[in-house]
A and B are shown apart, each in its own frame.
Chain A
Protein backbone atom coordinates (compact mmCIF):
# COMPACT_ATOMS: atom_id res chain seq x y z
CA UNK A 1 0.00 0.00 0.00
CA UNK A 2 2.87 2.32 0.79
CA UNK A 3 5.01 1.79 -2.24
CA UNK A 4 2.61 3.34 -4.76
CA UNK A 5 2.05 6.32 -2.48
CA UNK A 6 5.79 6.77 -2.18
CA UNK A 7 6.29 6.52 -5.89
CA UNK A 8 3.52 9.01 -6.44
CA UNK A 9 5.08 11.45 -4.01
CA UNK A 10 8.51 11.07 -5.50
CA UNK A 11 7.01 11.79 -8.87
CA UNK A 12 5.33 14.86 -7.47
CA UNK A 13 8.47 16.11 -5.82
CA UNK A 14 10.46 15.32 -8.90
CA UNK A 15 8.04 17.30 -10.99
CA UNK A 16 8.27 20.20 -8.58
CA UNK A 17 12.05 20.26 -8.50
CA UNK A 18 13.39 18.23 -11.37
CA UNK A 19 16.83 19.75 -11.42
CA UNK A 20 17.33 19.34 -7.77
CA UNK A 21 16.06 15.82 -7.60
CA UNK A 22 18.55 14.80 -10.25
CA UNK A 23 21.53 16.65 -8.89
CA UNK A 24 21.27 15.86 -5.24
CA UNK A 25 19.26 12.70 -5.07
CA UNK A 26 17.15 14.10 -2.27
CA UNK A 27 14.06 12.11 -1.48
CA UNK A 28 11.58 13.33 0.99
CA UNK A 29 9.11 10.60 1.60
CA UNK A 30 6.24 12.23 3.39
CA UNK A 31 3.95 9.25 3.23
CA UNK A 32 5.71 6.56 5.19
CA UNK A 33 8.04 8.40 7.52
CA UNK A 34 11.02 6.43 6.27
CA UNK A 35 12.35 9.32 4.20
CA UNK A 36 15.72 10.87 4.71
CA UNK A 37 16.02 14.39 5.97
CA UNK A 38 18.79 16.59 4.68
CA UNK A 39 21.46 17.17 7.28
CA UNK A 40 22.44 20.82 7.63
CA UNK A 41 24.63 22.58 10.15
CA UNK A 42 23.61 26.02 11.44
CA UNK A 43 26.37 28.45 12.37
CA UNK A 44 25.68 31.51 14.51
CA UNK A 45 24.70 34.52 12.49
CA UNK A 46 27.31 37.19 13.03
CA UNK A 47 25.80 40.13 14.88
CA UNK A 48 26.36 43.72 14.01
CA UNK A 49 26.21 46.74 16.30
CA UNK A 50 25.34 46.90 19.96
CA UNK A 51 24.42 44.46 22.70
CA UNK A 52 20.73 44.46 21.75
CA UNK A 53 21.63 43.48 18.23
CA UNK A 54 23.72 40.69 19.63
CA UNK A 55 20.86 39.37 21.76
CA UNK A 56 18.49 39.51 18.83
CA UNK A 57 21.05 37.67 16.80
CA UNK A 58 21.32 34.89 19.39
CA UNK A 59 17.53 34.50 19.38
CA UNK A 60 17.52 34.59 15.59
CA UNK A 61 19.99 31.71 15.47
CA UNK A 62 17.54 29.51 17.33
CA UNK A 63 14.53 30.74 15.32
CA UNK A 64 16.29 29.86 12.07
CA UNK A 65 17.38 26.44 13.30
CA UNK A 66 13.86 25.81 14.58
CA UNK A 67 12.34 26.81 11.24
CA UNK A 68 14.63 24.40 9.41
CA UNK A 69 14.00 21.59 11.86
CA UNK A 70 10.22 21.96 11.80
CA UNK A 71 10.18 22.18 8.00
CA UNK A 72 10.44 18.37 8.04
CA UNK A 73 13.01 18.74 5.25
CA UNK A 74 16.13 19.06 7.40
CA UNK A 75 17.89 17.55 10.35
CA UNK A 76 19.77 20.35 12.07
CA UNK A 77 22.95 20.55 14.08
CA UNK A 78 23.93 23.81 15.76
CA UNK A 79 27.36 25.39 16.08
CA UNK A 80 26.33 26.94 19.39
CA UNK A 81 25.38 23.63 20.91
CA UNK A 82 28.40 22.14 22.60
CA UNK A 83 30.25 19.57 20.61
CA UNK A 84 28.21 20.01 17.44
CA UNK A 85 30.55 20.36 14.51
CA UNK A 86 29.57 20.02 10.89
CA UNK A 87 29.88 16.32 10.28
CA UNK A 88 28.31 14.32 7.51
CA UNK A 89 26.16 17.31 6.58
CA UNK A 90 25.14 18.40 3.12
CA UNK A 91 25.24 22.11 3.83
CA UNK A 92 26.17 24.78 6.32
CA UNK A 93 23.76 27.65 7.00
CA UNK A 94 25.03 30.97 8.23
CA UNK A 95 25.17 34.68 7.54
CA UNK A 96 25.52 38.02 9.21
CA UNK A 97 23.41 40.91 10.37
CA UNK A 98 24.11 44.54 9.62
CA UNK A 99 22.15 47.37 11.17
CA UNK A 100 21.45 50.86 9.91
CA UNK A 101 19.29 52.83 12.31
CA UNK A 102 16.00 50.95 12.66
CA UNK A 103 16.69 48.98 9.53
CA UNK A 104 18.50 45.67 9.54
CA UNK A 105 19.87 43.44 6.88
CA UNK A 106 20.46 39.71 7.04
CA UNK A 107 23.02 38.46 4.55
CA UNK A 108 22.10 34.81 4.45
CA UNK A 109 24.38 32.12 3.14
CA UNK A 110 24.02 28.41 2.53
CA UNK A 111 27.14 26.55 1.43
CA UNK A 112 27.72 22.96 0.55
CA UNK A 113 30.01 20.91 2.76
CA UNK A 114 32.89 20.44 3.04
CA UNK A 115 33.79 22.47 -0.05
CA UNK A 116 31.72 25.43 1.18
CA UNK A 117 30.72 26.47 -2.29
CA UNK A 118 27.71 28.84 -2.22
CA UNK A 119 24.29 27.26 -2.72
CA UNK A 120 22.18 30.24 -1.67
CA UNK A 121 23.39 33.76 -0.98
CA UNK A 122 20.70 36.35 -0.43
CA UNK A 123 20.12 39.60 1.47
CA UNK A 124 16.95 40.26 3.47
CA UNK A 125 16.06 43.76 4.64
CA UNK A 126 13.44 45.11 6.96
CA UNK A 127 12.65 46.98 10.14
CA UNK A 128 14.64 45.78 13.13
CA UNK A 129 11.45 44.86 14.98
CA UNK A 130 10.55 42.49 12.11
CA UNK A 131 13.67 40.38 12.56
CA UNK A 132 11.65 37.21 13.07
CA UNK A 133 9.91 37.68 9.75
CA UNK A 134 13.29 38.23 8.06
CA UNK A 135 14.64 34.99 9.53
CA UNK A 136 11.48 33.12 8.42
CA UNK A 137 11.93 34.43 4.85
CA UNK A 138 15.49 33.10 4.81
CA UNK A 139 14.31 29.73 6.16
CA UNK A 140 11.58 29.46 3.53
CA UNK A 141 14.11 30.27 0.80
CA UNK A 142 16.42 27.54 2.08
CA UNK A 143 13.57 25.02 1.87
CA UNK A 144 12.81 26.34 -1.63
CA UNK A 145 16.41 25.88 -2.66
CA UNK A 146 16.49 22.27 -1.54
CA UNK A 147 12.99 21.13 -2.53
CA UNK A 148 11.71 23.45 -5.24
CA UNK A 149 8.97 24.74 -2.98
CA UNK A 150 9.19 27.37 -0.23
CA UNK A 151 8.72 26.37 3.40
CA UNK A 152 5.95 27.54 5.68
CA UNK A 153 7.91 29.44 8.33
CA UNK A 154 6.04 32.65 7.48
CA UNK A 155 2.59 31.16 8.00
CA UNK A 156 0.26 31.53 10.97
CA UNK A 157 -2.21 29.42 12.88
CA UNK A 158 -5.72 30.57 13.81
CA UNK A 159 -7.34 28.67 16.67
CA UNK A 160 -9.59 29.07 19.67
CA UNK A 161 -8.52 29.14 23.28
CA UNK A 162 -10.78 27.81 25.97
CA UNK A 163 -11.12 29.29 29.43
CA UNK A 164 -13.95 27.81 31.47
CA UNK A 165 -17.05 27.97 29.27
CA UNK A 166 -15.63 30.63 26.99
CA UNK A 167 -13.77 30.24 23.74
CA UNK A 168 -11.96 33.11 22.06
CA UNK A 169 -10.41 33.39 18.61
CA UNK A 170 -6.61 33.75 18.44
CA UNK A 171 -3.88 33.82 15.82
CA UNK A 172 -0.16 33.23 16.20
CA UNK A 173 2.92 32.59 14.10
CA UNK A 174 3.43 28.94 13.28
CA UNK A 175 6.36 28.84 15.72
CA UNK A 176 4.13 30.13 18.52
CA UNK A 177 5.38 33.72 18.51
CA UNK A 178 3.11 36.75 18.27
CA UNK A 179 0.02 35.19 19.84
CA UNK A 180 -2.85 37.66 19.41
CA UNK A 181 -6.35 37.27 20.80
CA UNK A 182 -8.81 38.58 18.20
CA UNK A 183 -12.06 38.33 20.15
CA UNK A 184 -12.97 39.28 23.71
CA UNK A 185 -16.63 38.35 23.55
CA UNK A 186 -16.72 36.02 26.58
CA UNK A 187 -18.80 33.82 24.33
CA UNK A 188 -18.08 30.73 22.21
CA UNK A 189 -15.88 31.14 19.12
CA UNK A 190 -15.38 28.10 16.91
CA UNK A 191 -14.13 26.80 13.58
CA UNK A 192 -11.78 29.47 12.19
CA UNK A 193 -10.87 29.42 8.49
CA UNK A 194 -8.49 31.70 6.59
CA UNK A 195 -9.19 33.71 3.46
CA UNK A 196 -6.98 32.62 0.53
CA UNK A 197 -4.82 35.73 0.90
CA UNK A 198 -4.37 35.21 4.64
CA UNK A 199 -5.82 38.58 5.59
CA UNK A 200 -9.15 37.43 7.06
CA UNK A 201 -10.41 34.73 9.39
CA UNK A 202 -13.97 33.43 9.16
CA UNK A 203 -15.32 31.93 12.35
CA UNK A 204 -18.48 30.92 14.17
CA UNK A 205 -19.52 32.76 17.31
CA UNK A 206 -22.41 32.83 19.77
CA UNK A 207 -21.59 36.47 20.59
CA UNK A 208 -24.55 38.78 21.06
CA UNK A 209 -26.68 36.09 22.66
CA UNK A 210 -27.93 34.69 19.37
CA UNK A 211 -27.33 31.21 18.19
CA UNK A 212 -24.22 30.40 16.20
CA UNK A 213 -23.51 32.99 13.51
CA UNK A 214 -20.70 33.38 11.01
CA UNK A 215 -18.36 36.33 11.42
CA UNK A 216 -15.19 37.53 9.78
CA UNK A 217 -12.30 39.28 11.46
CA UNK A 218 -9.15 40.77 9.98
CA UNK A 219 -6.26 38.54 11.03
CA UNK A 220 -4.41 41.67 12.08
CA UNK A 221 -7.14 42.58 14.58
CA UNK A 222 -10.09 44.92 14.75
CA UNK A 223 -13.77 44.19 15.05
CA UNK A 224 -15.71 41.24 13.72
CA UNK A 225 -18.28 41.62 10.94
CA UNK A 226 -21.36 39.47 10.54
CA UNK A 227 -21.33 37.27 7.45
CA UNK A 228 -24.41 35.11 8.10
CA UNK A 229 -26.90 35.47 10.92
CA UNK A 230 -29.84 33.58 9.46
CA UNK A 231 -32.28 31.71 11.72
CA UNK A 232 -30.80 28.50 13.10
CA UNK A 233 -27.28 27.24 12.52
CA UNK A 234 -24.72 29.41 10.74
CA UNK A 235 -21.41 27.61 11.03
CA UNK A 236 -18.50 25.65 9.52
CA UNK A 237 -17.65 28.37 7.02
CA UNK A 238 -14.70 28.55 4.66
CA UNK A 239 -13.74 30.66 1.64
CA UNK A 240 -13.47 29.08 -1.77
CA UNK A 241 -9.90 28.95 -3.14
CA UNK A 242 -10.63 32.02 -5.30
CA UNK A 243 -12.09 33.84 -2.29
CA UNK A 244 -15.32 34.64 -4.10
CA UNK A 245 -17.59 32.29 -2.20
CA UNK A 246 -18.15 30.90 1.27
CA UNK A 247 -19.28 27.35 1.85
CA UNK A 248 -21.00 26.79 5.19
CA UNK A 249 -23.68 24.96 7.12
CA UNK A 250 -27.06 26.66 7.60
CA UNK A 251 -30.34 25.34 8.94
CA UNK A 252 -32.53 28.19 7.71
CA UNK A 253 -34.59 25.74 5.67
CA UNK A 254 -35.12 23.48 8.63
CA UNK A 255 -32.20 21.09 8.61
CA UNK A 256 -28.41 21.40 8.73
CA UNK A 257 -27.50 21.63 5.04
CA UNK A 258 -24.52 22.91 3.08
CA UNK A 259 -24.85 26.23 1.27
CA UNK A 260 -22.77 28.47 -0.92
CA UNK A 261 -22.83 32.16 -0.09
CA UNK A 262 -21.07 35.01 -1.83
CA UNK A 263 -17.98 36.29 -0.01
CA UNK A 264 -20.06 38.79 1.95
CA UNK A 265 -22.61 36.22 3.03
CA UNK A 266 -25.39 36.97 0.53
CA UNK A 267 -27.14 34.93 -2.20
CA UNK A 268 -27.40 31.61 -0.37
CA UNK A 269 -27.52 28.58 -2.63
CA UNK A 270 -28.28 25.21 -1.16
CA UNK A 271 -26.03 22.32 -2.20
CA UNK A 272 -27.39 19.42 -0.16
CA UNK A 273 -30.99 18.33 0.34
CA UNK A 274 -31.24 15.54 2.82
CA UNK A 275 -33.12 14.86 6.02
CA UNK A 276 -29.85 13.90 7.69
CA UNK A 277 -27.06 16.09 9.03
CA UNK A 278 -24.78 17.62 6.39
CA UNK A 279 -21.93 19.74 7.75
CA UNK A 280 -18.17 20.42 7.93
CA UNK A 281 -17.74 21.30 4.23
CA UNK A 282 -14.21 21.69 2.88
CA UNK A 283 -13.07 22.76 -0.60
CA UNK A 284 -10.81 20.89 -2.91
CA UNK A 285 -7.89 23.17 -3.83
CA UNK A 286 -9.32 23.66 -7.32
CA UNK A 287 -12.66 24.75 -5.90
CA UNK A 288 -14.41 22.20 -8.09
CA UNK A 289 -15.36 19.77 -5.33
CA UNK A 290 -16.45 19.87 -1.71
CA UNK A 291 -15.91 17.19 0.92
CA UNK A 292 -18.32 17.18 3.84
CA UNK A 293 -19.67 15.08 6.69
CA UNK A 294 -23.13 13.53 6.61
CA UNK A 295 -24.94 10.98 8.74
CA UNK A 296 -27.27 10.06 5.85
CA UNK A 297 -26.18 6.43 6.14
CA UNK A 298 -26.81 6.29 9.88
CA UNK A 299 -23.57 7.55 11.34
CA UNK A 300 -21.13 10.27 10.30
CA UNK A 301 -19.16 9.65 7.11
CA UNK A 302 -17.22 11.91 4.79
CA UNK A 303 -18.72 12.42 1.33
CA UNK A 304 -17.54 14.33 -1.72
CA UNK A 305 -19.72 16.28 -4.15
CA UNK A 306 -19.07 18.69 -6.97
CA UNK A 307 -19.45 22.39 -6.31
CA UNK A 308 -22.99 22.41 -7.65
CA UNK A 309 -24.02 19.74 -5.15
CA UNK A 310 -24.18 16.87 -7.64
CA UNK A 311 -22.32 13.59 -7.92
CA UNK A 312 -22.35 12.84 -4.19
CA UNK A 313 -20.34 9.79 -3.19
CA UNK A 314 -18.97 8.42 0.05
CA UNK A 315 -15.23 9.10 0.21
CA UNK A 316 -13.89 5.94 1.77
CA UNK A 317 -15.04 2.53 2.94
CA UNK A 318 -11.65 1.73 4.46
CA UNK A 319 -12.44 3.50 7.72
CA UNK A 320 -15.75 4.02 9.48
CA UNK A 321 -17.32 6.90 11.38
CA UNK A 322 -15.33 9.61 9.64
CA UNK A 323 -15.61 13.36 10.06
CA UNK A 324 -13.73 16.65 9.72
CA UNK A 325 -12.31 16.30 6.18
CA UNK A 326 -9.42 18.49 5.02
CA UNK A 327 -8.28 18.42 1.40
CA UNK A 328 -4.52 18.67 0.87
CA UNK A 329 -3.23 21.78 -0.90
CA UNK A 330 -2.04 19.77 -3.90
CA UNK A 331 -5.37 18.00 -4.11
CA UNK A 332 -3.95 14.51 -3.91
CA UNK A 333 -4.96 13.57 -0.37
CA UNK A 334 -7.70 14.09 2.18
CA UNK A 335 -7.13 14.08 5.94
CA UNK A 336 -10.04 13.11 8.16
CA UNK A 337 -10.77 11.80 11.62
CA UNK A 338 -12.17 8.38 12.42
CA UNK A 339 -13.83 7.60 15.70
CA UNK A 340 -12.25 5.02 17.95
CA UNK A 341 -13.89 3.78 21.13
CA UNK A 342 -13.15 6.90 23.10
CA UNK A 343 -11.66 9.45 20.74
CA UNK A 344 -10.50 10.07 17.21
CA UNK A 345 -7.53 9.00 15.12
CA UNK A 346 -6.37 11.07 12.16
CA UNK A 347 -6.23 9.28 8.82
CA UNK A 348 -4.95 10.36 5.43
CA UNK A 349 -6.25 8.79 2.24
CA UNK A 350 -5.93 9.55 -1.45
CA UNK A 351 -8.48 11.96 -2.84
CA UNK A 352 -10.33 8.97 -4.32
CA UNK A 353 -10.70 7.45 -0.84
CA UNK A 354 -8.19 4.64 -1.25
CA UNK A 355 -5.00 4.08 0.71
CA UNK A 356 -6.37 5.26 4.06
CA UNK A 357 -3.76 5.02 6.78
CA UNK A 358 -3.63 6.33 10.33
CA UNK A 359 -1.15 9.14 10.89
CA UNK A 360 -2.00 10.15 14.47
CA UNK A 361 -3.53 7.77 16.98
CA UNK A 362 -4.25 7.65 20.70
CA UNK A 363 -6.67 9.72 22.81
CA UNK A 364 -8.63 12.22 20.73
CA UNK A 365 -7.05 13.95 17.73
CA UNK A 366 -9.36 16.39 15.99
CA UNK A 367 -9.69 19.00 13.25
CA UNK A 368 -6.65 18.17 11.08
CA UNK A 369 -5.71 21.04 8.77
CA UNK A 370 -2.92 21.02 6.16
CA UNK A 371 0.06 23.31 5.96
CA UNK A 372 0.16 25.11 2.60
CA UNK A 373 3.04 22.88 1.45
CA UNK A 374 1.16 19.69 2.36
CA UNK A 375 4.05 18.43 4.51
CA UNK A 376 2.32 18.83 7.85
CA UNK A 377 -1.03 18.64 9.57
CA UNK A 378 -1.94 20.78 12.55
CA UNK A 379 -4.60 19.34 14.85
CA UNK A 380 -6.06 19.61 18.34
CA UNK A 381 -5.52 16.78 20.79
CA UNK A 382 -5.87 15.88 24.44
CA UNK A 383 -3.03 13.35 24.15
CA UNK A 384 -1.09 14.99 26.98
CA UNK A 385 -4.03 16.19 29.08
CA UNK A 386 -5.77 19.44 28.22
CA UNK A 387 -6.49 20.13 24.57
CA UNK A 388 -3.53 21.66 22.80
CA UNK A 389 -2.31 22.10 19.23
CA UNK A 390 0.09 19.66 17.61
CA UNK A 391 1.80 19.27 14.27
CA UNK A 392 2.52 15.96 12.61
CA UNK A 393 4.98 15.74 9.74
CA UNK A 394 3.09 12.63 8.55
CA UNK A 395 5.99 10.41 9.53
CA UNK A 396 6.84 8.15 12.42
CA UNK A 397 8.04 10.96 14.66
CA UNK A 398 5.74 11.87 17.51
CA UNK A 399 3.59 14.96 16.93
CA UNK A 400 5.16 18.22 18.00
CA UNK A 401 3.21 20.35 20.47
CA UNK A 402 2.80 24.01 19.57
CA UNK A 403 3.21 26.61 22.25
CA UNK A 404 -0.01 28.53 22.87
CA UNK A 405 1.14 30.39 25.95
CA UNK A 406 -0.11 27.64 28.26
CA UNK A 407 -3.69 28.07 27.10
CA UNK A 408 -6.07 25.26 26.25
CA UNK A 409 -6.30 25.40 22.46
CA UNK A 410 -8.61 23.82 19.86
CA UNK A 411 -9.86 24.10 16.30
CA UNK A 412 -6.66 25.11 14.48
CA UNK A 413 -6.50 26.44 10.93
CA UNK A 414 -3.23 26.87 9.03
CA UNK A 415 -2.90 30.11 7.08
CA UNK A 416 -1.85 30.27 3.46
CA UNK A 417 1.58 31.65 2.70
CA UNK A 418 1.72 35.44 2.88
CA UNK A 419 0.24 37.10 -0.17
CA UNK A 420 2.67 38.90 -2.41
CA UNK A 421 -0.01 41.43 -3.21
CA UNK A 422 -2.33 43.12 -0.79
CA UNK A 423 -5.77 41.84 0.01
CA UNK A 424 -8.51 42.05 -2.58
CA UNK A 425 -10.92 41.89 0.32
CA UNK A 426 -12.25 44.98 1.95
CA UNK A 427 -14.19 44.46 5.12
CA UNK A 428 -15.83 47.78 5.39
CA UNK A 429 -15.92 49.80 2.19
CA UNK A 430 -17.31 53.29 2.43
CA UNK A 431 -18.46 53.03 5.99
Chain B
Protein backbone atom coordinates (compact mmCIF):
# COMPACT_ATOMS: atom_id res chain seq x y z
CA UNK B 1 0.00 0.00 0.00
CA UNK B 2 2.71 2.40 1.06
CA UNK B 3 4.83 1.35 -1.86
CA UNK B 4 1.96 1.87 -4.23
CA UNK B 5 1.38 5.27 -2.74
CA UNK B 6 5.01 6.23 -3.18
CA UNK B 7 5.15 5.13 -6.76
CA UNK B 8 1.91 6.93 -7.41
CA UNK B 9 3.38 10.06 -5.85
CA UNK B 10 6.48 9.61 -7.97
CA UNK B 11 4.36 9.34 -11.06
CA UNK B 12 2.40 12.38 -10.02
CA UNK B 13 5.57 14.45 -9.66
CA UNK B 14 6.77 13.26 -13.06
CA UNK B 15 3.41 13.97 -14.56
CA UNK B 16 3.35 17.46 -13.12
CA UNK B 17 6.87 18.18 -14.42
CA UNK B 18 5.90 16.82 -17.80
CA UNK B 19 2.66 18.72 -17.84
CA UNK B 20 4.45 21.92 -16.89
CA UNK B 21 6.92 21.36 -19.71
CA UNK B 22 4.32 20.55 -22.32
CA UNK B 23 1.94 23.16 -21.03
CA UNK B 24 4.72 25.65 -21.42
CA UNK B 25 5.10 24.60 -25.04
CA UNK B 26 1.48 24.36 -26.00
CA UNK B 27 -0.24 27.04 -24.09
CA UNK B 28 2.34 29.75 -24.15
CA UNK B 29 0.79 32.65 -25.98
CA UNK B 30 2.34 33.35 -29.33
CA UNK B 31 5.25 35.66 -28.93
CA UNK B 32 4.10 37.85 -31.74
CA UNK B 33 1.20 39.68 -30.13
CA UNK B 34 -0.08 40.69 -33.53
CA UNK B 35 -1.03 37.13 -34.46
CA UNK B 36 -4.39 37.27 -36.19
CA UNK B 37 -7.22 35.73 -34.17
CA UNK B 38 -8.22 33.67 -37.18
CA UNK B 39 -4.90 31.88 -37.22
CA UNK B 40 -5.33 28.20 -36.48
CA UNK B 41 -4.33 27.73 -32.89
CA UNK B 42 -2.49 24.53 -33.77
CA UNK B 43 0.23 26.58 -35.44
CA UNK B 44 1.88 27.33 -32.18
CA UNK B 45 1.45 23.79 -31.01
CA UNK B 46 2.88 22.38 -34.20
CA UNK B 47 6.01 24.44 -33.94
CA UNK B 48 7.18 23.88 -30.42
CA UNK B 49 10.48 25.39 -29.58
CA UNK B 50 13.33 22.96 -29.46
CA UNK B 51 13.42 20.95 -26.27
CA UNK B 52 15.24 23.06 -23.77
CA UNK B 53 18.45 21.23 -23.00
CA UNK B 54 18.54 22.43 -19.47
CA UNK B 55 19.13 20.38 -16.39
CA UNK B 56 19.40 16.63 -16.88
CA UNK B 57 17.72 14.24 -16.49
CA UNK B 58 15.21 15.10 -19.13
CA UNK B 59 11.66 14.26 -18.00
CA UNK B 60 10.11 11.50 -20.08
CA UNK B 61 7.33 12.30 -22.52
CA UNK B 62 4.05 12.89 -20.67
CA UNK B 63 2.18 9.67 -20.08
CA UNK B 64 -1.43 9.68 -20.97
CA UNK B 65 -3.73 9.07 -18.02
CA UNK B 66 -7.40 8.16 -17.93
CA UNK B 67 -8.11 11.40 -16.12
CA UNK B 68 -6.90 13.34 -19.17
CA UNK B 69 -10.07 12.33 -21.00
CA UNK B 70 -13.22 14.34 -20.66
CA UNK B 71 -16.55 12.62 -20.05
CA UNK B 72 -19.43 13.07 -22.48
CA UNK B 73 -22.49 13.91 -20.39
CA UNK B 74 -26.07 13.09 -21.33
CA UNK B 75 -29.64 14.15 -20.65
CA UNK B 76 -31.97 11.89 -18.68
CA UNK B 77 -32.91 8.70 -20.52
CA UNK B 78 -31.01 9.91 -23.59
CA UNK B 79 -28.05 8.69 -25.59
CA UNK B 80 -27.99 11.66 -27.97
CA UNK B 81 -24.69 13.52 -27.92
CA UNK B 82 -25.17 17.10 -26.73
CA UNK B 83 -22.93 19.94 -27.92
CA UNK B 84 -20.86 19.79 -24.72
CA UNK B 85 -20.47 16.02 -25.15
CA UNK B 86 -19.20 16.53 -28.71
CA UNK B 87 -16.66 19.04 -27.45
CA UNK B 88 -15.51 16.61 -24.79
CA UNK B 89 -15.14 13.89 -27.38
CA UNK B 90 -13.26 16.23 -29.73
CA UNK B 91 -10.79 16.69 -26.89
CA UNK B 92 -10.63 12.92 -26.38
CA UNK B 93 -10.18 12.29 -30.12
CA UNK B 94 -7.19 14.60 -30.13
CA UNK B 95 -5.65 12.79 -27.18
CA UNK B 96 -6.14 9.49 -28.97
CA UNK B 97 -4.63 10.85 -32.18
CA UNK B 98 -1.67 12.15 -30.20
CA UNK B 99 -1.25 8.79 -28.48
CA UNK B 100 -1.70 6.30 -31.28
CA UNK B 101 -0.69 3.35 -29.13
CA UNK B 102 -3.33 3.94 -26.49
CA UNK B 103 -5.98 1.21 -26.29
CA UNK B 104 -9.08 2.31 -24.46
CA UNK B 105 -12.37 1.20 -22.96
CA UNK B 106 -15.34 3.47 -23.45
CA UNK B 107 -17.54 3.10 -20.38
CA UNK B 108 -21.23 3.95 -20.41
CA UNK B 109 -22.91 5.02 -17.17
CA UNK B 110 -26.35 6.08 -15.97
CA UNK B 111 -27.93 7.77 -13.01
CA UNK B 112 -29.71 5.70 -10.40
CA UNK B 113 -33.21 6.17 -11.79
CA UNK B 114 -34.63 3.26 -13.75
CA UNK B 115 -34.13 -0.46 -13.53
CA UNK B 116 -30.70 -2.06 -13.53
CA UNK B 117 -31.48 -3.87 -16.79
CA UNK B 118 -32.71 -0.84 -18.71
CA UNK B 119 -29.81 1.25 -17.49
CA UNK B 120 -27.36 -1.39 -18.65
CA UNK B 121 -28.76 -1.03 -22.15
CA UNK B 122 -28.87 2.76 -21.86
CA UNK B 123 -25.23 2.85 -20.74
CA UNK B 124 -24.34 0.66 -23.70
CA UNK B 125 -26.05 3.08 -26.08
CA UNK B 126 -24.21 6.03 -24.52
CA UNK B 127 -20.86 4.29 -24.84
CA UNK B 128 -21.70 3.34 -28.42
CA UNK B 129 -22.63 6.93 -29.24
CA UNK B 130 -19.25 8.07 -27.93
CA UNK B 131 -17.47 5.28 -29.80
CA UNK B 132 -19.21 6.14 -33.05
CA UNK B 133 -18.31 9.80 -32.67
CA UNK B 134 -14.66 8.99 -32.02
CA UNK B 135 -14.63 6.57 -34.95
CA UNK B 136 -16.09 9.28 -37.17
CA UNK B 137 -13.28 11.53 -35.95
CA UNK B 138 -10.85 9.05 -37.43
CA UNK B 139 -9.92 6.92 -34.44
CA UNK B 140 -9.60 3.27 -35.43
CA UNK B 141 -12.38 1.13 -34.02
CA UNK B 142 -9.81 -1.54 -33.19
CA UNK B 143 -8.61 0.64 -30.34
CA UNK B 144 -11.96 0.65 -28.55
CA UNK B 145 -13.81 -1.68 -26.31
CA UNK B 146 -17.25 -0.68 -25.05
CA UNK B 147 -18.50 -1.63 -21.57
CA UNK B 148 -21.74 -0.49 -20.00
CA UNK B 149 -21.89 -0.31 -16.23
CA UNK B 150 -25.49 0.87 -16.20
CA UNK B 151 -26.20 2.49 -12.85
CA UNK B 152 -23.78 0.22 -10.97
CA UNK B 153 -20.76 2.55 -10.76
CA UNK B 154 -21.94 6.10 -10.06
CA UNK B 155 -19.27 8.81 -9.92
CA UNK B 156 -21.27 10.82 -7.46
CA UNK B 157 -23.23 8.86 -4.86
CA UNK B 158 -25.68 11.73 -4.37
CA UNK B 159 -29.38 11.54 -5.08
CA UNK B 160 -29.96 14.91 -6.75
CA UNK B 161 -29.77 16.26 -10.28
CA UNK B 162 -26.24 17.52 -9.77
CA UNK B 163 -25.06 13.99 -8.95
CA UNK B 164 -27.26 12.41 -11.61
CA UNK B 165 -25.82 14.65 -14.34
CA UNK B 166 -22.29 13.54 -13.45
CA UNK B 167 -23.41 9.92 -13.53
CA UNK B 168 -25.05 10.08 -16.98
CA UNK B 169 -21.89 9.77 -19.00
CA UNK B 170 -19.68 7.97 -21.43
CA UNK B 171 -16.02 8.24 -20.78
CA UNK B 172 -12.74 6.92 -22.01
CA UNK B 173 -10.51 4.83 -19.76
CA UNK B 174 -7.08 3.55 -20.72
CA UNK B 175 -6.83 -0.20 -20.85
Question: 8 Å CB contacts to B: which residues of A136-184?
Answer: 165, 167
CA distance A342 to B115 in the complex (A): 12
The yes or no answer to A254 lying at the interface (CB within 8 A) is yes
Residues 300-344 of chain A: 1 if any B CB is under 8 Å from the residue's CB, otherwise 0?
A: 100000000000000000000001100000000000010100111
- Give the distance to chain B from A281, nearest Cβ to Cβ, in Å: 9
CA distance A337 to B146 in the complex (A): 29
Interface size on A, residues (CB 8 A): 39
A279/B148 contact (C-beta < 8 A), A256-B124, A295-B77 known:
no
- The interface residues of chain A lying within 8 Å CB-to-CB of B153 are 165, 188
CA distance A233 to B150 in the complex (A): 11
Residues B118 and A233 in contact, CB atoms below 8 Å apart: no
Residues A277 and B121 in contact, CB atoms below 8 Å apart: yes
Question: 8 Å CB contacts to A: which residues of B87-121?
Answer: 113-118, 120-121
Residues A323 and B114 in contact, CB atoms below 8 Å apart: yes
Closest B residue to A162 using CB positions: B152
Closest A residue to B159 using CB positions: A342
The yes or no answer to B167 lying at the interface (CB within 8 A) is no
- Give the distance to chain A from B110, nearest Cβ to Cβ, in Å: 12
- The interface residues of chain A lying within 8 Å CB-to-CB of B113 are 339, 342-343
Question: 8 Å CB contacts to A: which residues of B145-165?
Answer: 145-149, 152-153
A-side residues, CB < 8 A to B, are 165, 167, 188, 190-191, 204, 206, 210-212, 231-233, 235-236, 249, 251, 254-256, 277-280, 293, 295, 299-300, 323-324, 337, 339, 342-344, 366-367, 410-411
Some 17 contacts from A to B, beta carbons below 8 A apart, are: A167-B152, A211-B145, A233-B121, A233-B124, A249-B121, A251-B121, A251-B146, A256-B120, A277-B118, A277-B125, A279-B118, A295-B77, A300-B77, A300-B118, A344-B115, A366-B116, A410-B116
B-side residues, CB < 8 A to A, are 77, 113-118, 120-122, 124-125, 128, 145-149, 152-153
19 further A-B contacts with Cβ under 8 Å, apart from A212-B148, A251-B121, A324-B115, are A188-B153, A191-B117, A204-B120, A206-B149, A211-B147, A231-B145, A233-B120, A233-B121, A251-B146, A256-B124, A256-B125, A279-B118, A323-B114, A324-B117, A337-B115, A342-B113, A366-B116, A367-B115, A367-B116
